[in-house]
């Protein structure tokens, strides 16, 4: 569904990504790992349209999306969560979870010409999906409370619910388990599996090896902006080049 080829991103003299290529198959949970500064978040920013690549190609179901504005990429079916949860404390939890869809859903563009019915349908679907994933996260019953009351772990669930509420076919999750304890991380794993089973393809960045290796169908390893390896968790854990460069030395591992 997603095909990345010869992707490059330079920031002035710094090459953050160089000749990165990989693909994601529909229905997969694919993980991106690599030390800090490896270019993981930059990769997500390029896919989501927050940054424009210096070179290379990104295709979603055959459609070239590299360099398109993030709103267009959102409408093409990609949603994301951020490393730092972006929660608006003046809004309720449910309002926060419904925010992403207002940026993406077709109603914004069609409502002028077609009246409000379509917009209301979209709004209902947005609400249904937001409620479903807040429910799954165990915060459905407090969805009408102000989001400022939520601890970090639950703010992350709001982010995930927001991305899922858009009905996107691919979700990018940047370090969803960062700052979570073991129990929260396990619960998050269940949520990611449920997301995958619901038909949404998952591309996720994380540092927690147990989490990634138990969850992912395939793993892409980045190192200094380059594609070091790609394979099943078993292949990656037994890859000498990965062990030498990363697994053997990273404290987080």
Site residues, ligand ADP (CB under 6 A): 11, 14, 16, 34, 36-42
Specify the 3-state DSSP secondary structure of 54.
Answer: coil
Nearer to ligand ADP, 9 or 105 (CB): 9
Nearer to ligand ADP, 16 or 242 (CB): 16
Tell me how crowded residue 250 is: count the other CB atoms within 10 A of its CB.
Answer: 14
Beta bridge mates, 22: 4
- Which residues are within 8 A (CB) of 209 and not within 5 positions of it... i.e. 6 or more apart? 33, 247, 252, 253
Spatial separation of the C-alpha atoms in residues 136 and 64, rounded to whole Å: 34
For residues 38 and 223, the answer to whether their CB atoms sit within 8 Å is yes
| Least separation in angstroms between CB 3 and ligand ADP | 20
| Least separation in angstroms between CB 73 and ligand ADP | 18
| Least separation in angstroms between CB 50 and Mg ion | 13
Residue 41 interacting with Mg ion (CB under 5 A): yes
Nearest to 165 by CA among 60, 79, 70, 107: 79
Nearer to ligand ADP, 15 or 146 (CB): 15
Spatial separation of the C-alpha atoms in residues 108 and 9, rounded to whole Å: 32
Q: Which of the choices ligand ADP, Mg ion, none does residue 166 contact, using the CB cut-off of 5 to 8 A by kind?
A: none
Specify the 3-state DSSP secondary structure of 180.
Answer: coil
Stretch that binds Mg ion, among 39-47, 89-97, 217-225, 241-249 (CB under 5 A): 39-47
For residues 133 and 125, the answer to whether their CB atoms sit within 8 Å is no
User: How many secondary structure helices (H) and strands (E) does the chain include?
Assistant: 10, 10
Total residues at the site for Mg ion (CB under 5 A)? 2
Q: Which of the choices ligand ADP, Mg ion, none does residue 90 contact, using the CB cut-off of 5 to 8 A by kind?
A: none
Spatial separation of the C-alpha atoms in residues 32 and 236, rounded to whole Å: 11
| Least separation in angstroms between CB 228 and ligand ADP | 12
Residue 166 interacting with Mg ion (CB under 5 A): no
For residues 19 and 226, the answer to whether their CB atoms sit within 8 Å is yes
Nearer to Mg ion, 87 or 205 (CB): 205
Q: Which of the choices ligand ADP, Mg ion, none does residue 109 contact, using the CB cut-off of 5 to 8 A by kind?
A: none
For residues 200 and 168, the answer to whether their CB atoms sit within 8 Å is yes
| Least separation in angstroms between CB 147 and ligand ADP | 26
Nearer to ligand ADP, 39 or 49 (CB): 39
| Least separation in angstroms between CB 72 and Mg ion | 24
Tell me the residue nearest to Mg ion as measured from the CB.
41
Nearer to ligand ADP, 41 or 81 (CB): 41
Task: Take residue 239 and report the two structure tokens written for it.
Answer: 């890859």
What is the contact surface with Mg ion in residues (CB under 5 A)?
A: 40-41
């Amino acid at each position: 569904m997603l095909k990345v080829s010869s992707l490059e991103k330079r920031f002035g003299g710094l090459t953050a990504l160089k000749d990165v290529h990989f693909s994601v198959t529909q229905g997969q949970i694919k993980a991106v790992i690599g030390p800090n500064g490896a270019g993981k978040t930059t990769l997500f920013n390029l896919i989501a349209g927050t940054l424009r690549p210096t070179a290379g190609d990104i295709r979603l179901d055959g459609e070239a999306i590299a360099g398109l504005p993030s709103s267009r990429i959102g409408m093409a079916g990609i949603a994301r969560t951020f490393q730092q949860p972006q929660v608006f404390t003046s809004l309720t939890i449910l309002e926060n979870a419904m925010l992403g869809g207002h940026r993406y859903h077709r109603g914004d563009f069609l409502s002028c010409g077609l009246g409000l019915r379509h917009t209301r349908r979209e709004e209902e679907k947005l609400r249904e999906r937001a409620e479903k994933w807040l429910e799954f996260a165990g915060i459905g019953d407090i969805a009408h409370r102000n989001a400022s009351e939520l601890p970090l772990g639950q703010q992350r669930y709001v982010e995930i619910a927001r991305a899922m509420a858009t009905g996107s076919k691919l979700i990018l999750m940047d370090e969803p388990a960062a700052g979570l304890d073991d129990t929260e991380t396990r619960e998050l794993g269940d949520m990611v599996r449920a997301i995958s089973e619901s038909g949404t393809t998952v591309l996720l960045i994380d540092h927690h090896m147990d989490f990634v290796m138990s969850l992912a169908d395939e793993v892409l390893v980045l190192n200094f902006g380059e594609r070091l390896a790609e394979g099943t968790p078993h292949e990656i854990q037994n890859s000498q080049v990965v062990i030498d460069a990363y697994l053997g030395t990273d404290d987080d591992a």
